[in-house]
Structures are given as structure tokens and as C-alpha cells.
């Protein structure tokens, strides 16, 4: 009788553990694959699990109830597909930075869906603009616009209004951005900080403010490409990260303020992709040469040229390993434009969901180590620290020798 009871308990335990693993594992997979807004759902699920566990200890048949509940949830999840997308016909979308990368790919994709796309480029005669003109429909409108130039933005607004007529603008995709940085925060040139802020923050700020009346008229969508480096301390990306952090605060504030107007605001956080000049060796060499020439002799001596050279090579290697398929980001931009209920935050690309999960829920020491291992894996330490370490090691060796001599003298 006792053995039979133990077997029943063991069976119940393993059934319970199996159901728990499937249930919690499914929630975790959803959390890591989408975004952190699933965290409250996870907390509620775990809280419910604790209650069910207590119930199971009092009333064992509750395990069967949990299994039925889990099966029902899985069935509903499999049946419940994505909500129907909004139609693209008659909707206009303005996209910045379409010379290459995410902007160009998104312009082509939205055009294929039937949107009226207004794509801004730096050079109307450049290869990116020429390719868009050749591959897209007649609905596509190209405008020359440098987002740091107010007169270009105003001219783009006039062109957009002429195309829209009495319609409002359904979507503004803030994609244009720049990253000119290959060194530690102390080594980064002030011009790099200013350059990133001018484009990534002030330029995007000006474009957004200029086109907001058209967005409000259509009760449309504001979609902004940000970066995880604007929220997490990526080594060697201080200038870029600071500009994206400022942009993030501005966009989040707008999200609250535009809610009464019916404008939905989404921010996209992509992982590293091969875009723009990221895989151009000549570009990196030019950046590095300019960096060295403008660095003070004191800092160059303290850090050492081999330390700076390694940083450049790590950036080049990281860019070379980045995926070329931009569809994860293009798909999230599209979802933010056509979904009846777009997400506030989108995480696009391999590893970015896991990175945010670790950053949000793990101790800071583990999060920092993960970030350093993931991004810039420095092996060379600054030259000044090497000299200090050499002096310390030399003093330690001398002290050890003196101690050994003292011991030998006492033995005699």
C-alpha cells in the first residue's frame, strides 16, 4: 500500500513537472522572441502557478486541471493567428535615409505592398536612389533631404503636401542615422559627439516636428529606428549611444502626448546588421586615420596605438559578421504601420531579445559581462596600465627575492 502510494505521488510529481516545463518554457520563449511587454504576463503566470501548486498539495486532482488548462491555452494560441493587417491602399508613408540599408529595403517593400512611399535620400543621382527609381512603382516619390538642413526638410514637406493633396500622412519612418565612432568614450572626438547628436537627435527631432501635423491629421503612425546602445552601455559607442538615448526620451514623451490625437508611436531596436558603410574597409581606415590625427599625444601615449588598432579591427570584424538579411527590421517596420494594435517596442534581429532580458532581470555584473563578451572583446589593455602592471610585478618580484634572502640568512 505504501509503495503504491509512493508510485502515485511520483507519477503525479512528474506529470506536474512536465506540464510546468511546457507552460513556463512556452511563456519564456514568447518573452525572448518578442519584447519585454510580455513580462507582466510572465509574472502573472508564475503567480498563478504558485497558487496552483499550493492547490495541488491540498487536492492532487488539481494537477489534471492544470494540464487541461495548459492544453486549452496551447490550442487557443495555435488557432489565434495575427490580427488582419490594415490595407495599404491610399496610405502614404515618408521614410528618411533611403540611400541604403533599412531605409532603402523598407521603401521597396512598402511600395510592393501598395503604399504611396515618399523616400528621402541624400543624393538623387546616387546608386541607392537610382535603384529605387528602377525597381519601384510609379507611386514612389524621391526627395533630396539632409535631415540636418532645415531648408531641405521644409522643401520635403512641400513636396509631400503636393503629393498628398487633402490627405494626411499615414506613416513617418525615422530611419536616417549615423554612427561615427571607433574608440572609448574618453578618446572619442567632440566632433563625433556633435555629429551624432546633429543627425540622430536634432535632425530626427526637426523632421518629426515638421511632419507631425500631417500625422495627426491622418491619426497615423510614427516609427523610429533606435538602438540598444541608447539604453545599454555598449563599449566604444558612447557618442552614438548618447544620441540615441536622447532620441528615445523624446520619442517616448511624444508617445504619451500623441495618444489623445490617435497617433500610435513605435520604436524599433535592431541588432547589428550589415548596412551602409559598415562593411567598407576604406571607410574604417579613413575613420581611423582621422581619429589618430586628432587625438592628443598624451592620450595616444597612455592608451597606445596597438590598443586603438585592436578596437578598429574588432569593429571591422563585428561588422563583417553581421547578417545581410534586413528583413527582420523591414518586417517590424511594416507591422508597426499596418497592425491594428502596433507594439510600442520592437526587437529585431538575433540575440537582441535575450540581451534585453538579461539586462532587465539579471544582476548588473552579469549583464555587463554579457555585453562585453557579445560586442567588443578587448584583449589589449591600455599602454599606461601595462606599464603600471609591469612596475607592480617588478616590485612584487623584488619583495619576494628580499623575503627569500631574509629566510636564507635566518637559516644560516
Got the DSSP string for 149-208?
-HHHHHHHHHHHHHHHTT----EEEE--------S-TTTS-HHHHHHHIIIIIIIHHHHH
Q: How far apart are the first and last CA of the chain?
A: 79
CA–CA gap between residue 303 and residue 143 (Å, rounded): 44
Scan for cell 521603401, then name that residue.
107
Q: How far is CA 111 from CA 155, 174, 319, 409, in A?
A: 22, 17, 29, 88
Pure H helices in 219-363 = 238-258, 281-293, 297-303, 305-321, 327-338, 352-361
- Would you state the cell numbers that stand for residue 94, as one nine-digit string? 515618408
Q: How far is CA 310 from CA 161, 183, 362, in A?
A: 49, 10, 30
Q: Give the burial string for 42-53 (b: 16+ CB within 10 Å, else e).
A: beebeeebeebe
Q: Which residues are catalytic?
A: 240
CA–CA gap between residue 79 and residue 61 (Å, rounded): 28
Nearest CA to 25 out of 35, 33, 13 is that of 33
What residues have CB less than 8 Å from 92, skipping those under 6 apart?
115, 116, 117, 118, 160, 163, 164, 167, 169, 170, 171
Q: How far is CA 35 from CA 76, 236, 327, 360, in A?
A: 21, 26, 18, 11
CA–CA gap between residue 182 and residue 268 (Å, rounded): 24
Got the DSSP string for 193-220?
HHHHIIIIIIIHHHHHHHHHHHHHHHT-
Amino acid at each position: 500500500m505504501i509503495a503504491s502510494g509512493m508510485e502515485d505521488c511520483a507519477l503525479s510529481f512528474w506529470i506536474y513537472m512536465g506540464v510546468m516545463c511546457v507552460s513556463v518554457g512556452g511563456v519564456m520563449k514568447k518573452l525572448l522572441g518578442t519584447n519585454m511587454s510580455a513580462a507582466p504576463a510572465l509574472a502573472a503566470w508564475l503567480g498563478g502557478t504558485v497558487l496552483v501548486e499550493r492547490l495541488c498539495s491540498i487536492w492532487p486532482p488539481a494537477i489534471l486541471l492544470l494540464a487541461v488548462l495548459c492544453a486549452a491555452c496551447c490550442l487557443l494560441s495555435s488557432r489565434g493567428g495575427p490580427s488582419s493587417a490594415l490595407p495599404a491602399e491610399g496610405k502614404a508613408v515618408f521614410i528618411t535615409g533611403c540611400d541604403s540599408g533599412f531605409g532603402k529595403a523598407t521603401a521597396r517593400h512598402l511600395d510592393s505592398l501598395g503604399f504611396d512611399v515618399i523616400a528621402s535620400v541624400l543624393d538623387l543621382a546616387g546608386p541607392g536612389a537610382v535603384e529605387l527609381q528602377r525597381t519601384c512603382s510609379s507611386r514612389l516619390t524621391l526627395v533630396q533631404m539632409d535631415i540636418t538642413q532645415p531648408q531641405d526638410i521644409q522643401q520635403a514637406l512641400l513636396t509631400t503636401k503636393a503629393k498628398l493633396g487633402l490627405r494626411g500622412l499615414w506613416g513617418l519612418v525615422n530611419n536616417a542615422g549615423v554612427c561615427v565612432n571607433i574608440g572609448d568614450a574618453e578618446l572619442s572626438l567632440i566632433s563625433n559627439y556633435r555629429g551624432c547628436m546633429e543627425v540622430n537627435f536634432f535632425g530626427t527631432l526637426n523632421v518629426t516636428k515638421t511632419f507631425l501635423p500631417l500625422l495627426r491629421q491622418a491619426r497615423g503612425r510614427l516609427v523610429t529606428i533606435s538602438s540598444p546602445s541608447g539604453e545599454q552601455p555598449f563599449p566604444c559607442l558612447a557618442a552614438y549611444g548618447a544620441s540615441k538615448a536622447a532620441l528615445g526620451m523624446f520619442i517616448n514623451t511624444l508617445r504619451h502626448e500623441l495618444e489623445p490625437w490617435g497617433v500610435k508611436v513605435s520604436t524599433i531596436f535592431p541588432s547589428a546588421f550589415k548596412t551602409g558603410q559598415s562593411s567598407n574597409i576604406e571607410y574604417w581606415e579613413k575613420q581611423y586615420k582621422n581619429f589618430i590625427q586628432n587625438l592628443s599625444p598624451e592620450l595616444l601615449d597612455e592608451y597606445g596605438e596597438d590598443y586603438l588598432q585592436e578596437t578598429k579591427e574588432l569593429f571591422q570584424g563585428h561588422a563583417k559578421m553581421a547578417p545581410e538579411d534586413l528583413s527582420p527590421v523591414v518586417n517590424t517596420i511594416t507591422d508597426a504601420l499596418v497592425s491594428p494594435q502596433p507594439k510600442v517596442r520592437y526587437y529585431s534581429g538575433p540575440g537582441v531579445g535575450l540581451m534585453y532580458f538579461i539586462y532587465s532581470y539579471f544582476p548588473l555584473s552579469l549583464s555587463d559581462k554579457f555585453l562585453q563578451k557579445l560586442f567588443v572583446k578587448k584583449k589589449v589593455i591600455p599602454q599606461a596600465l601595462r606599464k603600471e602592471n609591469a612596475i607592480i610585478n617588478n616590485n612584487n618580484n623584488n619583495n619576494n627575492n628580499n623575503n627569500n634572502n631574509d629566510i636564507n640568512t635566518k637559516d644560516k
